[in-house]
Structures are given as structure tokens and as C-alpha cells.
Amino acid sequence: MRLLEYQAKSLFSDYTIPIPKGYTSIDIEQGRKDASALGYPFVIKAQMAVGGRGKAGAIQKCHNADEFQLKYPEIMQKVVKGEKTQAILLEKMADIKKELYLSLFLNRGKRCYTIISSSEGGVEIESVKNQVIREVGLGDVDTKTAEEVGKEIGLKDKTLSQFVEILQKLSKITVEKEAELAEINPLAVLKDDSLLALDGKVIIDDNAMFRHDELRKFQEVSELEERAEKSGFSLVELDGNMAVVGNGAGLVMSTLDMLSDHGGKPACFLDVGGGATTDTVYEALTLISKMKKVKGILVNLYGGIVKTTTVATAFIMAYENKVIDVPVFARMSGAEADRSKEMLKGSRTKMFDTIEEAINNAVIEVNKNG
């Protein structure tokens, strides 16, 4: 999930990375109030998940109310590279002396984060020759490394000290929020030699979103996820082909991680919750059936408040009504687990004594069938 600029800056602010004063709106009436609160001049910035906004006229300076009346609706209607404007950010102009570039991205091939920095910012990094590239581990960037990067792009004194702080805070974002990319471009050096993040880009790993409820406010909720919430259980769509079902967020999370470690690709996180009924579980299976990417279902269930027989009954109903047409790999333990196994004998549900066995068999069969 790529955050919009104002969302990325909200995250920066949470980590005390300095950002310009600004307000976000989706209509001109609120925009006028924001303009009055901010004071002229300022920049009007279209919020969309693409680059090249400046060249496309989706970022413009605004010096007075007359300009605002013309430019706000114009920018609100902008479409850049097929992306419509989702909101407008009004932001105070900065007194800039120099622009830098700074980013960290997840280098999957080398299993590390890579820092890229440059003394030239405000342009696409691919076109910048003066780059400093440093591979670091998957943890936080240490002070020594941050200082070395800052010095290599010519920073010193107050500016270097603040750069080190910002790089380390950006590193914390990538680690704690499981970001694939965190970028500040440009990172402005102001006339007083302080630093300010003028633009921001953050991309969060979609398959990690279920671990970050605090980021869900930035995510568009799918129709299926909305239906799940109304039905009383949690569903988060992911990119893979194996639905993961369980009771309890912790159990489902650990199952997702184990599936990924064994080469499986989760298609969704589905927690039926502690108050699940047969109807609730049946509705959950119905929603899974609407995900055409799902080629198998992995169930990890501990019978306690929710009896395993409740879940087994829902599966039997789903088979009878032809809701499920993919293989199911299940591990059930706890209350009435033995009875549940008997109930599901002869169905497409394959029962296993351990979740490891269930995962191994699921990965082999689903990958074999594509």
C-alpha cells in the first residue's frame, strides 16, 4: 500500500520528522477555511499515489484568494498517469537553501535495507548521479552509519546532526511499520540550516497490514472486508492464493507467518473471533469463495469459547451448498476436536495433527495445482 503524501507526512510527524505546516481537504469550502488558517502564500498539492505531479501541474503555488478560487478546483480535477486527485494538501512555503534526497528501501534480493541519499533532491532519483548508497541490516540504522552517509553528501554541523536524527527516524518507520520504501524527496535545507521534509513517500508491505491496525485508517477497505466487519469477524485481503482462517488474531498471525516461511502465499487473514457461530463461519467461507485468487484454505483452530464442531458444521453446510470448491487443510484442537474430525471425514477437508503438517501439505498441493 502506497500512502498519499499527507498520510506519509502524518507518519513522519508521529516520529518527529519535521514537516511543513499544512491542511488536507476534499472540497473547496473546507479548503477556504484551511487557506485562511494557513495564510498566503502556500502550495496547493494534489494527493494521488503517483510521481510527476509537479510537471503535470498538480502542484502549484498560490499567493492570494483569487488564485485559490481558480487553482483549487483545477487541481482537484487533475488526473496524472490515470490517477485522480483524492484530496488536496495546502502547505506553507519554505525558505529553501538547498534540496537533498533520502530514502530507505527493502532490498529483498540481499535481505537488507538500502539507504540512498544525495546532495541533489527534488528530482527523480534515477536521474541523479551524485548518489550515496549504503546497505544496512534489517534493524535500525546506527548513528555511525547515519553520520557517514550525511558527511558523504557534504553535510556538517547542525545540518549533519539533524540529518542523522531524520535518517534514524526514517529507519524506525521502515522497521516498525514494515515499509518497503520510506522516501523524503526533497529533504530541504532551510536558510537557517535546519531540515524539513517537503515531500514524502511510504510504501507498506500489503501482506503486513494485518499487523498494523494503526495504518488501517489509510487503507481503502474492500467490499469483502466491509461485509466481514458488519458480520462480526475480521478479514484482511492479501496478495497470495491461500486463505488463512483461525480464531484469535495472534493465532492467525502466527499461522500466516509460518505459511510464508514454508513458501506459501497468504490470500487473506480471517479471524472468526471469539463469538463465532455456525452462520458467522459460513458467511466467512462465502466471502472466501468470492476471492477468485484463493486456491486453498488453511484452518488453524483451537476449540475453546468457539467449539470446533461449530466450525465443522459451517464447513459441511458450505460443501452441501457448493460454496467451497478448493481443498481445505485443517488442524483443530481443543473442545470437541475429535468429534469435528469425525464430522469432516470424507469431505474435502484434510485433517492434520499439527499445523506444520497442514502447512506443508497445503503448500505442496496448492503450488502443484498453480
Tens of pLDDT, residues 322-364: 999 999 999 999 888 999 999 999 888 999 999 999 999 999 9
Residue from 5, 91, 180, 183 carrying the catalytic annotation = 183
Residue from 23, 72, 101, 319 carrying the catalytic annotation = 101
- pLDDT tens for each residue of 237-255: 888 899 999 998 888 988 9
β strands within 96-175, DSSP E: 96-107, 112-118, 131-136
- Cα angle, residue 170 at apex, residues 110 and 21 outer, rounded to 5°: 150
Count, residues in the chain: 370
Longest dimension (CA), the chain: 75
> Is 282 a catalytic site residue?
no
Distances (CA, A) of 307 to 110, 232, 243, 258, 312: 44, 17, 20, 24, 9
Q: Kindly state the average pLDDT of the residues 78-100.
A: 93
CB 204, CB 193: distance < 8 Å: no
- pLDDT tens for each residue of 169-191: 999 999 999 999 999 999 999 99
**The pLDDT value given to residue 370:** 61
β strands within the chain, DSSP E: 22-25, 42-47, 59-62, 79-80, 83-84, 87-92, 96-107, 112-118, 131-136, 179-190, 195-197, 200-204, 234-237, 242-246, 266-271, 296-303, 328-334, 349-351
Q: Look at residue 206 and tell me whether its pLDDT is greater than 90.
A: no
Choose among 79, 81, 90, 87: nearest CA to 33. 90
Q: Kindly state the average pLDDT of the residues 141-145.
A: 95
Q: Look at residue 304 and tell me whether its pLDDT is greater than 90.
A: no
> Is 101 a catalytic site residue?
yes
Q: Kindly state the average pLDDT of the residues 303-313.
A: 88
- pLDDT tens for each residue of 253-275: 889 989 988 999 999 999 998 78
C-alpha cell at 302: 483451537
CB 352, CB 363: distance < 8 Å: no
Domains of the chain: 21-92 (3.30.1490.20), 96-206 (3.30.470.20), 221-368 (3.40.50.261)
